[in-house]
Structure 1
């Protein structure tokens, strides 16, 4: 990704940030799950993957009348179910292709199984229950969609906020140059020494949570909370977006101010679900299973992009559009495009 961005800089072309991020993250997750890159070259196939992820996350977040009036669900009045079935067929073709190619290269991984190898070898448990191929495909779909769109949208929002306020970029550069220098790239172990980078990530989690309403919860038994009676099977959506913008908790909540996490009451706040003011991944037993990986991905990739490049808006760009498109994930309505200029030693972009 860094080499591709350097090439765009050399040609004087803007970088379309969400396309670059989705392409890179899909390949990173592919390495873990399938022992290979999902997309060899950036092009129509990777762009279609991005479009399918966005369509899935958007459709899954739509208000569906049938969810709240089950007796008319079969009518699919809004056409949401029909569109999802069409999308399902496209995903099934892609996942079937991935699994077939993975099976054909099994001999290359002899003695070094990857995630999918282990899943396929242990599809039956001690009780005789067996995972079907549909179950495995559903698991792969979850991993790819939840692992690409959510993290990439957070990083895109962070870069957009930084482009609006160059002082933040300058401060991040000063911290990184002091800790890392300009002769090598950022490594994961550097992150603990970069409190301002961590503060930028926390402020983005607060203002632009990737899943604004989290995933729905359903009460398994009737209960009473703060005087409110909650019947059994009540569906609950936690408004994480509103929690992060609550003026009773956050001073000037619409401002993007990483410094709020460097001192005072929020200095030790953590996005891992222990502090209810900041729960971008949810909390409790149903917290996102990818919380740790998500935080590391955001900190590492955003930190690498900030450390490696100077960021500028393309010439002729007016005020940056910060409109949100609601869905299961919170997308920028207008994808972020930016000009980049390498700022490290040339050898840092080679390996």
Structure 2
């Protein structure tokens, strides 16, 4: 979001409108923070926290999207392969939270019958922590965006989002400048 100032500005505006400056965002605010939730979904799509879903075993011979899968095959889904696929997403490498909002750009689209986004898997074998994980991640982003202005150091042109070849971590350390934007009494004193 730091690399996309208009997106960050819109997220800040939503927080300012829904929560204000005199208190920190709370869990009860989350239902109104649709743009923040859309930003989370987009981040999960572009930068999944795990490269593959848990393996599944084909119970019978089947064909999926024209590919034959014999009974007993171990099936893995590449989350980056799905999230970055131009046959699935328009302009897939662009960070665009609006793709997760309804036509009026007001509500986050919850169901995805086409299974284009599987951050927590789906169905009866889906992650039991989906609500907890999504809530914690949304709260963390909301608090960071509400509490600070974010910018890159003057000698940098943006945040380098290139990932390691070994895992999904950034290849170079994240270096940003965070400046408080709320009244001082809202920050922890140490």
TM-score, shorter chain, exceeding 0.5: yes
Conserved 8 A contact 2:34-2:108: no
Deviation at 1:274, TM superposition (A): 6.0
Counterparts of 1:326 and 1:281, CA distance in 2: 23
Query: Does structure 1 residue 172 correspond to structure 2 residue 11?
Result: yes
- The residue number in structure 2 matching 1:231 is 71
Deviation at 1:248, TM superposition (A): 2.7
Q: How far did residue 319 of structure 1 move? A: 4.1
Structure 2 partner of 1:243: 82
Residue equivalent to 2:110: 270
Q: What is the deviation of 1:265?
A: 10
Name the residue aligned to 1:345. 183
Q: 2:57 aligns with which of 218, 225, 241?
A: 218
Q: Which residue of 1 aligns with 2:139?
A: 300
Distance 1:309 1:323, change over 3 A: same
Structure-1 residue corresponding to 2:98: 259
Structure 2 matches for 1:37-116, cutoff 5 A? none
CA deviations 1:293-332 (Å, max 9, x no partner) are 11011100011000000001123123432111255x6211
**Structure 2 unaligned blocks of 5 or more:** none
Give how far 1:249 is off: 2.8
Look up the SS of the partner of 1:332 in the other structure. coil
Counterpart contact for 1:183–1:347, Cα < 8 Å: no
CA contact (8 A) 1:214 1:240 kept: yes
For 1:189 and 1:288, locate their aligned partners in 2 and report how far apart those are by CA, in whole Å: 23
CA distance in 1, matches of 2:159, 2:108: 32
What does residue 332 of structure 1 align with? 170
Deviation at 1:166, TM superposition (A): 1.3
Matches within 5 A, 1:198-217: 198-217=37-56
Structure 2 CA distance, aligned partners of 1:180 and 1:210? 28
**Mapped pair 1:183 → 2:22:** yes
Q: d(CA) in 2 for partners of 1:319 and 1:307?
A: 21
TM score, norm. by length of structure 1: 0.49
| Cα gap change, 1:309 to 1:194, in 2 (>3 Å) | same
Mark the runs of 5 or more structure 1 residues left unpaired by the alignment: 1-161
Task: Please tell me whether the aligned partners of residues 83 and 89 of structure 2 are also in contact (alpha carbons under 8 angstroms).
Answer: yes
Q: Is 2:125 the partner of 1:286?
A: yes
Provide the aligned length of Structure 1 versus Structure 2: 186
Per the alignment, do residues 307 and 300 of structure 1 end up closer, same or farther by CA in structure 2, a change over 3 Å counting?
same
Q: Does 1:315 align with 2:158?
A: no
Query: In structure 2, what is the equivalent of residue 154 of structure 1?
Result: none
Separation in structure 2 between the aligned mates of residue 308 and residue 292 of structure 1, nearest angstrom? 24
Q: Distance in 1 between matches of 2:108 and 2:180?
A: 33
Q: Is the 8 A contact 1:163 1:311 kept in 2?
A: yes
Superposition RMSD in Å: 2.4
Distance 2:108 2:35 in 1: 13
* Helix, strand or coil at the partner of 2:177: strand
CA offset at residue 189 of structure 1?
Answer: 0.9
TM-score by length of 2: 0.86
Go from structure 1 to structure 2 and tell me whether the alpha carbon gap of 1:242 and 1:269 turns closer, same or farther (over 3 Å shift): farther
